[in-house]
Amino acid sequence: MKKKWAFLTSMMALVLLLSGCEPLLVLDPKGPQAERQASDIMLSIGIMAVIVVVVMAILAYVLIKYRASNQSDDYEPPHIEGNHIVEAICVGVPVLIVAYLSFVSVKSNYIVESAPVGYEDQEPLVVYASSSDWKWHFSYPEEGIETVNYLYIPTDRPLEFKLYSYGPITSFWIPQLGGQKYAMADMVTTLHLAADEPGEYMGRNANFSGKGFAENTFNVTAMSQADFDEWVEEVHETAEPITENEFEKLLEPGHLGQMTFTGTHLEFSPAPEHEHHAESDTEVDSESETHDHSQHEGHAEHTDHSSH
Amino acid sequence: MEFFQRFAIPHPSPAIYASMVAIALVSIAIVVGLTYFKKWGYLWHEWFTTVDHKKIGIMYLISALLMLFRGGADAIMMRAQLATPEAKLLDAQHYNEIFTTHGVVMILFMAMPFIFAFMNLIVPLQIGARDVAFPRLNALSFWLFFAGAMLFNISFVIGGSPDAGWTSYFPLAGNDFSTSVGTNYYMLAIQISGIGSLMTGINFCTTILKMRAPGMTLMKMPMFTWSAFIANIIVVFAFPVLTVALLMGTADRLFGANFFTTANGGMDMLWANFFWVWGHPEVYILILPAFGLYSEIISTFSGRNLYGYKSMVWSMVLISLLSFLVWTHHFFTMGQGALTNSIFSITTMAIAVPTGVKIFNWLFTMWKGKIRFTVPMLYSIGFIPLFTIGGVTGVMLAMSAADYQYHNTMFLVAHFHNTIIPGVVFAMLAGLTYYWPKFFGFILNEKIGKLTFWLLTVGFVLAFFPMYITGLDGQARRMYTYSEATGFGPLNMVSFVGAALMAIGFVTIVYNIYYSFKNSPRNIGSDPWDARSLEWATHTPVPEYNFARVPQISSSQTFWDSKKNGHALFKGEIEDIHMPNKSGVPFVMGIIFFIVGFSFVFALWVPAVIALIGVFVCMTLRSFEQDHGYHIHVKEIKETEAKYGEVLNSEDRPRTTTRV
């Protein structure tokens, strides 16, 4: 048995060595949300490691002490039904651990689902991130810019991503800024992120979406607000406007490189945002409403009923 | 021509053509072999028409082992493709098909029949029954499972395999994004075998509730029977959800319904919810019987009664309840908000408590015991630390905010393999080794068995522990390739080496069966392991009627009581034994269901309707059939018993006990 444990520990050491050259992406956070998640992860790894060590220690002790070859031939193991105190400890200690982790987990849930800590009083930058087979479209409605497969973001400003999909369910993920969230065709989900440091980050779709899934990635560049403003200006000077025709072509399944446009597709193909609210009828103009009807008849009908 | 077009494989490769030829050759070889050796009659009378729970169990066992190799072949191809960055072994489409079939085959066509095999083999013996409550229904369950498994497996040579993941999330699995018939196979094959599973659930709940030997109260049932009972209750509650979800999915794909589409009011998230309302209880359907097997084995080889029997039972009851309250943790990232996530985060973590109780009870069962390191015990000992690691990573995943980072990554893949392989697969191999002598009359070679154990354990650690690290480094699951710059390469290579060791390990099991069949001694008596529960109180191999006289139960380890404390297990005279008749109808219905499934997959309505009528004809005939079974007479029983060398009419049976 000892050999096995020696082997296990050396394996873990080897694994850590192999990966040890650079910090793991998730454990190398560059924003408050990812930081919270990384600290939860490290906390739980610590507590769990203690549990594993305790179980292994008891097991090793029992196996060494009570192995048959260590006992006389006429040893008859006793009949033991159980012991209330021992069993209470076996229930009590895990309950305490789980209660503590639940407390942390609930707290973290509310933290990652609201504006990032330290950024609460700032106006967030809203970015609509939509996926299509197998690309990401980023629309900046305030700036009037749309990009494909790359994302420029300012540091030190909260980011609010509005996620939806033009196809299968995908999952928007920038590991170093924070965890993922699904993008789906019939509703919009919101992901709150922020970047503390300028830099290049990996972003991808993490949810399997068919043949082109592996390459369904995008680059994220975080820069100062001044640099970001400069980029916005530059785009407005150089890029072509996005048209409905052009956008339809972009949606066709396949891979594309990075692209930049002025204007956003939200103007002619809005996000499936207010589907379930009656007031959406008054908000959208007539042209996009017809479009809406053709795509989401069921929902639109439902909306009509509720408004009467 | 167009008619035949749809049966072609959309993405052929030399490997698939080779498999087609291999399948054809093997089929011809089997038919020729059976005819040459005149074995058709034997096969029909002894196996195809049997309603004997032991034979059905053995057929489940053989199917599970076959499917283990099919799923394993998928696994080794996946690991080989990912071993190096930008490998060209498989393209994206093939990789997607392989991980989809790997998941479906391993869960539904390997693990499920494996646990059903043990339920069939052991439960009636452990409760002192002659068979299950509905023997013919039991045969039908098996043949439906088998029809479903075969239907699923022919997909890769006729029409193309499903490629939307074993979870088959819509809208990806809908007609818009999965155009081949692959997902039709998924819907129908799982539906057919799922109906079989549901019937097994009802059958075993009834058996355990109604057919226990005199004196066996619920709290005197052996632990494996308890685990099987709870698992089957979960089956009865969970499988109807899958049945309905698959029906809706089939309607979407074949009849243009819009349950899960993104247009016309369909809701893609509904599928994910339905799937996991079944899917999460499903993992407990698999793990609880595994826990039951470990309880039997650890108790036997520690020479001790099971510690904390009552808390073991109550923890399983609690796990079965909680298993229905956690499904949302499979998609914390769907955007349902902090409150919902918090609730499901807490219920998920709560499962760790009863599971922890079980781990400690096993440790305390070994405490003050006399531990023998046999092969089944080695698996059980290996299971405890490895499953603990799998369990605590589960608690980590249950922290929903952190799960936003683990979700869809290799960390998750590492976690669930870390629970299912040491939890379920090791238990099945432990059970296989432990119960092998009971049904085949010889012990599997211990030396080769130990080699298998070490190959599998080392292979497992090498294959799956690196995934925790690559997951945290951002490797998403289900990617068919990755670039060198990601740095995932070396660890994936380690995984491949581990997977290769496991593959060798599984091959040694087959070799062990062959070797032991040739070389193992046959004079092992009826109780080779010095065991404790009732299934060891009958002969080896078990006679058709299980027990010549109905056993009298004193405790959950009544056989041990009869060995050590002078409890009289068998009292009174031998009487005629009532047994169920054989029937070919379940086998025929299996074939008909296969035809129904195949016809639906390809939307061939005429054969589909004709075959469906066949199903109802079989059911109608059955309801008008008078079948009272038959009796084995005292004389015949005495002759059989005499063959086992038993002294009849004696209160205390002599035993030949070989200790290992």
Residue B656 in any domain: the answer is: no
Secondary element (H or E) of residue B573: none
Secondary element (H or E) of residue A182: strand A178-183
Please list, in sequence order, all residues whose beta carbon lies within 8 angstroms of the beta carbon of residue B110, skipping any fewer than 6 positions away: B64, B67, B68, B71
- H helix intervals, B473-583: 489-519, 558-564
d(CA A262, CA A279): 29
d(CA B375, CA A63): 15
Are B474 and A26 inside 8 Å of each other by CB? yes
d(CA B56, CA B38): 22
Does the CB of B183 have a partner CB in chain A at under 8 Å? no
Per-residue pLDDT reduced to its tens digit, B83-104: 999 999 999 999 999 999 999 9
d(CA B493, CA B83): 4
d(CA B588, CA B49): 9
With 0-12 / 13-18 / 19 or more C-beta atoms within 10 angstroms meaning exposed / middle / buried, residue A198 is middle
d(CA B433, CA B450): 11
pLDDT score at B17: 81
pLDDT score at A17: 56
Does the CB of B48 have a partner CB in chain A at under 8 Å? no
pLDDT score at B652: 44
Query: What does the DSSP 8-state code read for residue A308?
Result: -
Residue B55 in any domain: the answer is: yes
Check: CB of residue A195 under 8 Å from CB of residue A31. yes
Q: Coil, strand, or helix at residue B228?
A: helix
CATH hierarchy code of domain A125-272: 2.60.40.420
Task: Name the residue among A141, A146, A161, A130 with its Cα closest to residue A251.
Answer: A130
Task: Name the residue among B333, B508, B343, B512 with its Cα closest to residue B409.
Answer: B333
d(CA B45, CA A74): 49
Helices (H) and strands (E) in chain B, counts: 23, 2
φ and ψ of B609, to 5 deg? -70, -45
Count of structural domains, chain B: 1
Per-residue pLDDT reduced to its tens digit, B142-198: 999 999 999 999 998 888 899 999 999 999 999 999 989 999 999 999 999 999 999
Task: Return the number of CB contacts < 8 Å for A and B.
Answer: 303
Per-residue pLDDT reduced to its tens digit, B497-546: 999 999 999 999 999 999 999 999 988 888 999 999 999 999 988 999 99
* Residue B439 banded pLDDT, cuts 50, 70, 90: very high
Please list, in sequence order, all residues whose beta carbon lies within 8 angstroms of the beta carbon of residue B330, skipping any fewer than 6 positions away: B272, B276, B279, B280
Contacts of A298 in chain B (CB under 8 A): 258, 263-266
Selected residue of A75, A90, A190, A255 to mutate for chain B interface (largest B Cβ count, 10 A): A90
Q: Coil, strand, or helix at residue B249?
A: helix
Instruction: Locate B383 and state its tokens.
Output: 């299971």
3-state secondary structure B402-446: HHHHHCCEHHHHHHHHHHHHHHHHHHHHHHHHHHHHHHHCCCCCH
Query: Above 60 in pLDDT, residue B73?
Result: yes
**Residue of chain B minimizing CA distance to A47:** B392
Selected residue of B344, B377, B404, B412 to mutate for chain A interface (largest A Cβ count, 10 A): B404
Contacts of B346 in chain A (CB under 8 A): 102, 105-106
Residues in chain A: 308
Instruction: Locate B100 and state its tokens.
Output: 């989809």
pLDDT score at A18: 52
Are B401 and A36 inside 8 Å of each other by CB? yes
Dihedral in degrees, nearest 10, Cα atoms B635, B640, B645, B651: -60
CA distance A21 to chain B (A): 10
Per-residue pLDDT reduced to its tens digit, B462-507: 999 999 999 999 999 999 999 999 999 999 999 999 999 999 999 9
Query: What does the DSSP 8-state code read for residue B539?
Result: -
Selected residue of A102, A176, A190 to mutate for chain B interface (largest B Cβ count, 10 A): A102
Per-residue pLDDT reduced to its tens digit, B184-232: 999 999 999 999 999 999 999 999 999 999 999 999 999 999 999 999 9
Does the CB of B87 have a partner CB in chain A at under 8 Å? no
Contacts of A88 in chain B (CB under 8 A): none
Residues in chain B: 660
Per-residue pLDDT reduced to its tens digit, B303-324: 999 999 999 999 999 999 999 9
Task: Name the residue among B112, B138, B115 with its Cα closest to residue B53.
Answer: B138
Check: CB of residue B396 under 8 Å from CB of residue B418. no
Per-residue pLDDT reduced to its tens digit, B59-69: 999 999 999 99
Averaged pLDDT, B626-650: 80
User: Tokens 């006679």 correspond to what residue?
Assistant: B543
Secondary element (H or E) of residue A153: strand A150-154
Residue A245 C-alpha from the chain's centroid: 32
Amino acid symbol at A236: H
Residue B439 in any domain: the answer is: yes
**Residue of chain A minimizing CA distance to B396:** A44
Residue B659 in any domain: the answer is: no
Per-residue pLDDT reduced to its tens digit, B10-61: 777 777 788 788 888 888 888 898 888 888 999 999 999 999 999 999 999 9
d(CA B378, CA A306): 64
**Residue of chain B minimizing CA distance to A114:** B338
* Residue B565 banded pLDDT, cuts 50, 70, 90: confident
pTM: 0.91
**Residue of chain B minimizing CA distance to A28:** B473
d(CA A144, CA A138): 11
Contacts of A101 in chain B (CB under 8 A): 349, 395, 398-399
d(CA A163, CA A157): 19
From the list A51, A179, A209, the residue facing B392 with the nearest CB is A51
Instruction: Locate A298 and state its tokens.
Output: 């069921």
Selected residue of B220, B405, B461, B496 to mutate for chain A interface (largest A Cβ count, 10 A): B405
From the list B304, B310, B341, the residue facing A109 with the nearest CB is B341
Check: CB of residue B498 under 8 Å from CB of residue B462. yes
pLDDT score at A16: 57
pLDDT score at A284: 40
Query: What does the DSSP 8-state code read for residue A123?
Result: P
As for the ipTM of the complex, it is 0.90
Instruction: Quote the mean pLDDT of chain B.
Output: 92
Q: What is the b/e burial string over B500-512, where b = at least 16 CB atoms within 10 angstroms of the residue's CB? A: bbbbebbebbeeb
Contacts of A55 in chain B (CB under 8 A): 359, 363, 384-385, 388
Check: CB of residue A105 under 8 Å from CB of residue A182. no
How would you classify residue B419: left for phi > 0, otherwise alpha for psi between -120 and 50, otherwise beta? alpha
C-alpha distances in Å from residue A298, one per residue of A293, B131, B334:
8, 53, 22
Residue B458 in any domain: the answer is: yes
Task: Give the strands of the sheet with A125-132, arranged side by side.
Answer: A189-193, A159-165, A125-132, A135-140, A145-148, A259-262, A240-241
From the list B93, B352, B400, the residue facing A109 with the nearest CB is B400
- H helix intervals, A113-224: none
Q: Which of residues 437-496 of B touch A (CB under 8 A)?
A: 457-458, 461-462, 465-466, 469-470, 472-474, 476-482, 487, 490-491, 494
Contacts of A115 in chain B (CB under 8 A): none
CA distance B384 to chain A (A): 8
Check: CB of residue B147 under 8 Å from CB of residue B590. yes
Per-residue pLDDT reduced to its tens digit, B590-599: 999 999 999 9
Per-residue pLDDT reduced to its tens digit, B390-411: 999 999 999 999 999 999 999 9
Q: From the first residue on, what is the mean pLDDT of each consecutive set of 10 residues in chain A (308 residues)?
A: 54 54 87 95 95 96 92 88 88 95 96 92 94 95 95 95 95 96 94 95 95 94 96 95 94 94 93 59 40 41 39
DSSP string, B358-370: HHHHHHHHHTTS-
Query: Above 90 in pLDDT, residue B646?
Result: no
Per-residue pLDDT reduced to its tens digit, B572-625: 889 999 999 999 999 999 999 999 999 999 999 999 999 999 999 999 999 998
Q: Which of residues 231-290 of B touch A (CB under 8 A)?
A: 258, 262-269, 272
Mutual angle of helices A32-65 and B375-398, in 10-degree steps = 160
**Residue of chain B minimizing CA distance to A110:** B338
Residue B631 in any domain: the answer is: yes
Are A109 and B371 inside 8 Å of each other by CB? no
Are B303 and A79 inside 8 Å of each other by CB? no
Residue A180 C-alpha from the chain's centroid: 1
d(CA B139, CA B121): 13
d(CA B364, CA A82): 9
From the list B302, B357, B408, the residue facing A180 with the nearest CB is B408
**Residue of chain A minimizing CA distance to B377:** A63
Domain that holds residue B571: 2-643
Does the CB of B645 have a partner CB in chain A at under 8 Å? no
CATH number for the domain harbouring residue B251? 1.20.210.10
d(CA B32, CA B29): 5
Does the CB of B165 have a partner CB in chain A at under 8 Å? yes
pLDDT score at B70: 92
CA distance B24 to chain A (A): 30
d(CA B625, CA B475): 59
* Partners of A161 in the β-ladder: A127, A191
